[in-house]
Structure 1
Amino acid sequence: MWLLFAASFSLAIAADSSDVLQYVNPLIGTDNGGNVFAGATLPYGMAKAVADVSGQNTGGFSPDGSNITGFSHMHDSGTGGNPSMGQFPLFPQYCPDDVIDNCQFPKYNRAVNPVLDSVVAKPGYFSLSLENGMQAEMTVTQHTALYNFVFPQNATSNGTALSPVMLLDLTDIYDTRQNATIIVDPSTGRIQGNGTFLPSFGSDSYVLHFCADFAGAQVIDNGVWVNNRAGTEPKQLFVTRGFNNFYLQSGGWVRFQRPSNGTITARVGVSWISADRACSNAENELPNPLTAFNATRTRAENAWRKQLSPISLQTAGVNQSYVENFYSAIYRTMISPQDYTGENPLWSSSEPYFDSFYCLWDEFRVQLPFLNIVDPSQVSRMIRSLLDTYQHEGWLPDCRMSLCKGWTQGGSNADVVLVDSYLKNITGVDWNLAKEAIVNDAENEPIDWKDEGRGGLQSWKRLNYIPYLDYDYLGFGTNSRSISRTLEYSYNDFCLSTLAGGLGSADEHTKYLARASNWRNLFKADQTSSINGTDTGFVGFFQPKFLNQTWGYQDPIACSPLTDFCSLTTNPSETFESSVWEYQFFVPHDMAGNIQLLGGPDKFISRLDYYFSSGLADISNEPVFLSVYAYHYAGRPALSTKRAHSYVPAYFNATTTGLPGNDDSGAAAAFTIFTMMGLFPNAGQNVYLISAPFFEAVSVTSPATNRTATIRSTNFDPTYENVYIQNATLNGKPYSKNWIGHEFFTEGMTLELTLGSNESTWGTSDADLPPSLSTSTGSMMYKMMF
């Protein structure tokens, strides 16, 4: 029922010749742990309305067959950690015998099965039917969710005609509410209030406010409910979490005379400032909710059409599911970060404020580099928001959700985000302030580095690596990840050296370029690796090292799919969410140096092949993404294409289970997009690795310059037998490099790739390889990026 492939159908026309929204399916990745938000949202919108389920509810809705517990108004998309947000859900029902106390109030008591084949998910719109006959549809503005609830006609119980009832629950998806207030207006039925909740992957707590109005029916009575009982008095309530493990459940309710068409419209404004602000948001954005639904949906659709408009395809017989996969992935990259400008209660500023950077460890590699291409004006606002956070909180965030500081996973990866945008010519940013913020990450240690900045900087500066069981008395965090933090700090410092060089600070450029080589200090040349007692045959791996510079040990396959998952909160290790095998390929700025350290190109390729074929590679995890294309650096770009085509569409496809893990706020989506486009970024550098696209032609019009870049395939084969580049031209001239810079997009170049069925010599010579720090081109690398 939920497979979205049209196996025998192929699209023979250019996707840009019809409405692009027909190729967007928000249900992709909503099952099997993808955690994608399927509901109604604007691009980067704050209000996000959907039906919440009792099963896989991290993103709200999943077609997993579990029950619907409510309809809530704010969500994150594709995240790991605990389920996020989903506050103040509405729930429509009839009460048996028309007695309020006969209603089902707690969420798991009232839950009802959805009619799965009734679900409609489109950009800016979501609807479904429940097995009890209720129907719901929803759309949104920036800060307001708009619902139409249709109650079955002629509902009776024991001969008594039933009146529609709307419940509002003072909870969130994960039941983290600490306390809440609610006020019900006796005459209008307006319900407003707030609640204090916990973030899903971070510290502290946050307060969210709401304002719910109803239209289309006359109010009979209303009040509040607690646990399993309700009353018409009082009209307001303050509720705490409850005692020990007992979660006190409560909310408000309104009963209506049944309208002739059975439809009750609900308008829910949300705000981080106050309940009054939530009401004004709703009133300003939707002053006439009863008649606004269709126009609101149309505005949302048009907003998405504009966002998707820079990219068009010539598909030449490609299966339609590939087109759906591609455009749906573009859509998912723009669900978050979320634009909360004007809604930040933490400090006063005229700068933009974005939230749900969840987390930059995931987003810096592919999602934000993609937005640098197709939405540079919004990226500029995001960068300004990150810098404004630095100015008011003292640190660039590495992860942020619901106004809270998220946990730092590796290095200070906002550094990479800023430098990548600098190299991609994002305008409107104070780049000297950006350098100041990154230098702060590199030089100063916060007291609580689990939330921001870098820990272990004393050891980093003195020993040039992060030690195993580091003695760090300056600050506090999870004292683990010594290998992955050493590798990531090395790259963070490389990015800082790049920005310093570009801004004319030669001394800082030299200083941080030297620190960019610290990754070498944890390479143990004689370390072996075995699987189930059998030696893999490869020697030399990163290993932890103590403060006294003696070696520790971590099994190179630990934290891989062959063993246990390692995170901050469970089974912490010296590599974060990845094995030593996985992290051995993460030296983005000096792949040539890494290749030599691992024995040269042939041995490097053999090691890569073993990694991918042995089950050690976890394609659901972001550190793997660049390693799919690492063959480029060893002079075998055809093998990158072969590897990429083995993952798309096998693991990234147009089904509800079409992701291998969390979408990670659009990171997996961006991996899909770049792979299908045939260009893959090395974030923090002006480098895109060239591969064979999945379409005859992909064209991208730069919003910054209004020039159109095109990647065109000669001898394109929609069965994907001809996926190896034989030769290439750039603007009609022979082009042998296996990479290209961002000017390809801004200057509107045409890259034509001639494809064949066998690997060729294209892109294989030393002169054709991407720049690396330790090569002759690498010493001038930062100059090449401007």
Structure 2
Amino acid sequence: MHDAVDPFIGTEATRLPPPEGLAATWWWPKPQIGNTHPGATHPFGMVSVCPYSGAYPTGYGRYDFNTEGVPRTVHDEVVASGFTHFQQSGTGAIRKYYNYFRVTPMLEPLDALGTTWPVRDEVARPGYWAGTLGSGIRCELTVGPKSAVHRYVFPASERARVVVDASIGGLALPHSRTVPLRAHLAMLAPGVAEGEITVEGVPLATHVQVHAPGWRQLLWYDRRLMPGGTRLDLDGIRPTTLRPFGMVWSGPSRSDQVVEVRMGWSLRGCEQARANHDADLGRRVTAFGWRRRATEDAWRSHLGRVQVEPVSAEQETVLATALYHSLVKPCFAPDEAPGWTGDGPWVFDVCTMWDIYRTQLPLLTLLFPQRATDLAVSLLTVCEEEGNLPIGYRMAKGADRFSRQASALAHLLLADLCERDVPGIDWDWALVHLEAELRRTYGEDYLLHQVAHPISHTLDLAMAYHATAAVARRVGDRALARQLSGLAGGWINAFDPDTGLLVDSTFYEGGRWNYSFRLLHDMRARIELAGGDTPFVAMLDRFFGFGQPPVRQPGVGPTSAELQAGYALGRFEGLNNEPDYDAPWAYHWAGRPDRTAEVVQQVLRSQFGTGRGGLPGNDDSGGLSAWYVWATLGLFPAPGQSLFLLHPPAVPSASLVLEDSELAVHARGLTPPRPGRVDHVQSVTLDGRPLERAWLSAAELREASELVFTLGHEPSGWGRQHRPPSTSDPRPPDPSRR
């Protein structure tokens, strides 16, 4: 998988073949661009480094701020003014754009700092980026978990230099710049320096070592050198008083001279930044090659958890890259919490739970349960230290509320981990915070009225009560579990029994159709509310565009009227919008897994591809990419319910390396994708025994060794009778029933 990854996928505006058939009826309102970047990353690492053009939203690329339709360009080609550290991956308008401590190799005077050069001959692989600036300097980047290494090859010049700008942050777009409040820089020894900036409430420190024998090193302020100065301390910086400042190494370069810049990072001061530098890079004179190989090995190990036999080289590239993008975030930074002194797990760039709870977090939980455990402990610690269980969390002091998006989604992650009985979590401690969080913000309205607006929060909170009841049962508090389970029934108050849809309300990036088909814990009662299987399937068919004419997609700068008309369609938004991610599997509870197969295969064929424009929308910290991984494997998680829903895999065979086992998935009779043709499940065996139902419990999946699908081109009776479990089932489901 490692060698097939293309980190450039998703870095430019969507460029996919025109959709056909059912896919042509889907409407894409959100940004039609992946918003990924090709810079160097480490699996779940704290640090990334990337060429910096100042474009939205990662600092890499050519595009302006964009929340709907096709993005406008601000650069005609890929350019860079240097290389910055810390980037989001696939997110949109989150107003926290990092891009700190820009490092610029240059041949021009310091006054030319900020010049952008065209970037040629780009190469990107997991953990590595290379390219040549228009100035003729060849640049390479790699990272460790808490470090970054730059390697520059200079042409012959009398005035070569490497400039570190500690004043830069954010994007080079209106209202997107980040200004440090305080700064400290110091030259410690020849080739050794340190710096710390306090930015958006966080003290970010770096330890810098530059291998450039014979070059001078100086501090600079307001583009003027400070000869003889070894310290620079600034306080009370404001946007109106900011003058750029930083460090510079300069001297004559011979042809093909290599200069290496090594940087360790910490949120707990320069001393810890130096310790992180030494832990990641050692005390080598040059570290680039060693660090690149170590990070490549880490990526090979992580990506090796999934192995497939692809149907084409293109599919292998898309799948490998999707898995790669699923493992970039969140950022795990143990012992780095800037807001308190205790050690232990600390995780940032959970951006946001709304984006990743359906797909990326279940993938993390299945393949890397210890990572998921550390994330859960980190979220609980944030709750204890800062007063709220985060819906989103970035490199900042204070949890981001993201209150418009969702409520109480961390509860679903904790419930899935609780079902696994993972070590490392004090479940009594967890239950205290989970239960208390349900009384905060939107939870107050829900407790008083069993309904909260925006109405989608009612579904969030009902699911969270269901999940928390599972934790209460785990610790033996049956009375609390009964109370929480009763409150979990409030989801029904969100629906209008006359329409079978959610009641009128405001909705975040969607409409009531988009939010009405979420996979709830009581889908049996949800379908009865809509009138039963037949009316519910008819509603889903309308939503997914069966029998509907093609739609026109928003272009550049769509008008409000155009967007309102699109939302009024009440149509599936494909993989362009998070609320629709799990909707295709709602058919399972109505006994129509064949319909799920039709929709999912249309998505796989029409909304993913190779090339920079190969994603249909924001990747959102891997949430979109993780969807592709699940859909390709023939499995889809139901978060907080410890369920996996089955559908036709898109590869002939796959192997998943789990914590204590290995699962082989085979699709017999799989045919190459072709317009108008759908593969349907005819039968399934689990470890050699027939499986008549279209779902597995999480425990069954982890204990299984072989899952075999037999496929054909016509729908069958498979999966129609034995529905996935619901809390209102007349009796508990029997997992042994095949």
TM-score normalised by the chain length of structure 2? 0.86
Structure 1 residue 416 corresponds to structure 2 residue 446: no
Contact 1:58 1:83 in 2 (8 A): no
Q: Which of structures 1 and 2 has the larger relative contact order (alpha carbons within 8 angstroms, sep 6+)?
A: 2
SS in 1 for 2:373: helix
SS in 1 for 2:414: helix
Picking from 434, 438, 452, the partner of 1:438 is 434
Structure 1 residue 90 corresponds to structure 2 residue 103: yes
Counterpart of 1:56 in structure 2 is 56
The Cα shift of 1:83 comes to 5.0
Picking from 673, 681, 699, the partner of 2:655 is 699
SS in 2 for 1:166: strand
SS in 1 for 2:203: strand
Q: 1:507 to 1:221 in 2, by over 3 A?
A: closer
Structure 1 residue 305 corresponds to structure 2 residue 300: yes
Equivalent residue letter for 1:522: A
SS in 1 for 2:543: helix
Map residues 369-408 of structure 1 onto 2, 5 A cutoff: 369-404=362-397, 405-408=399-402
Counterpart of 1:488 in structure 2 is 460
The Cα shift of 1:127 comes to 0.8
Q: 1:583 to 1:334 in 2, by over 3 A?
A: same
Counterpart of 1:113 in structure 2 is 118
What is the CA deviation profile of residues 629-676 of structure 1, one whole-angstrom value per residue up to 9, with x for unaligned ones?
Answer: 111111110111110111114223333222222211111111010000
Q: 1:719 to 1:651 in 2, by over 3 A?
A: closer
Picking from 426, 451, 460, the partner of 1:465 is 451
Map residues 85-234 of structure 1 onto 2, 5 A cutoff: 85-95=98-108, 100=109, 103-105=111-113, 107=114, 110-115=115-120, 118-153=121-156, 155=157, 161-174=158-171, 175-185=177-187, 188-198=190-200, 205-226=201-222, 228-232=223-227, 234=229
SS in 1 for 2:616: coil
In angstroms, what is the RMSD of aligned CA positions?
2.5
Structure 1 residue 25 corresponds to structure 2 residue 18: no
Contact 2:147 2:277 in 1 (8 A): yes
Counterpart of 2:72 in structure 1 is none
Q: 1:163 to 1:66 in 2, by over 3 A?
A: closer
The Cα shift of 1:121 comes to 0.9
Picking from 616, 619, 630, the partner of 2:571 is 616
Contact 1:722 1:755 in 2 (8 A): no
The Cα shift of 1:507 comes to 1.6
Count matched residues.
671
Structure 1 residue 45 corresponds to structure 2 residue 45: yes
What is the CA deviation profile of residues 68-116 of structure 1, one whole-angstrom value per residue up to 9, with x for unaligned ones?
Answer: 1221222222222235211011011112xxxx45x312x3xx111111x
Farther-moved stretch of structure 1 (686-695 vs 371-380): 371-380
SS in 2 for 1:516: helix
Q: Distance in 1 between matches of 2:276 and 2:734?
A: 46
Q: 1:294 to 1:163 in 2, by over 3 A?
A: closer
Counterpart of 1:758 in structure 2 is 714
Q: Distance in 1 between matches of 2:711 and 2:130?
A: 44
Equivalent residue letter for 2:159: L
Q: Distance in 2 between matches of 1:683 and 1:442?
A: 18
Structure 1 residue 728 corresponds to structure 2 residue 684: yes
Q: 1:308 to 1:163 in 2, by over 3 A?
A: closer
The Cα shift of 1:31 comes to 2.1
Structure 1 residue 630 corresponds to structure 2 residue 586: yes
Q: Distance in 2 between matches of 1:684 and 1:413?
A: 9
Contact 2:211 2:286 in 1 (8 A): no
Counterpart of 1:593 in structure 2 is 525
Q: Distance in 1 between matches of 2:644 and 2:266?
A: 40
SS in 2 for 1:764: coil
Q: Distance in 2 between matches of 1:62 and 1:307?
A: 31
SS in 1 for 2:624: helix
Equivalent residue letter for 1:617: F
Equivalent residue letter for 1:71: F
Mark the runs of 5 or more structure 1 residues left unpaired by the alignment: 1-19, 156-160, 199-204, 446-453, 467-480, 527-538, 544-552, 555-573
SS in 2 for 1:120: strand
Q: Distance in 2 between matches of 1:628 and 1:523?
A: 19
The Cα shift of 1:725 comes to 0.5
Equivalent residue letter for 2:359: V
What is the CA deviation profile of residues 192-221 of structure 1, one whole-angstrom value per residue up to 9, with x for unaligned ones?
Answer: 2222223xxxxxx22211222210331235
TM-score normalised by the chain length of structure 1? 0.81
Q: 1:753 to 1:163 in 2, by over 3 A?
A: closer
Picking from 78, 81, 84, the partner of 1:72 is 84
SS in 2 for 1:88: strand
What is the CA deviation profile of residues 359-416 of structure 1, one whole-angstrom value per residue up to 9, with x for unaligned ones?
Answer: 1122211111111111112222222222232333343222111043112331111111
Q: 1:393 to 1:220 in 2, by over 3 A?
A: closer
Equivalent residue letter for 1:336: K
What is the percent sequence identity of the aligned residues? Answer: 26
Q: Distance in 2 between matches of 1:287 and 1:273?
A: 20
Q: 1:680 to 1:390 in 2, by over 3 A?
A: same
Counterpart of 1:749 in structure 2 is 705
Q: 1:783 to 1:463 in 2, by over 3 A?
A: farther
Picking from 530, 535, 541, the partner of 2:501 is 541
Structure 1 residue 455 corresponds to structure 2 residue 442: yes
Q: 1:344 to 1:259 in 2, by over 3 A?
A: farther
Q: 1:83 to 1:120 in 2, by over 3 A?
A: farther
Counterpart of 1:11 in structure 2 is none
Picking from 533, 555, 578, the partner of 2:510 is 578
Q: Distance in 1 between matches of 2:382 and 2:41?
A: 25
SS in 2 for 1:185: strand
SS in 2 for 1:712: strand
Contact 2:450 2:490 in 1 (8 A): yes
Contact 1:41 1:125 in 2 (8 A): yes
SS in 2 for 1:257: strand
Q: Distance in 2 between matches of 1:340 and 1:389?
A: 14
Contact 1:716 1:722 in 2 (8 A): no
Contact 1:338 1:354 in 2 (8 A): yes
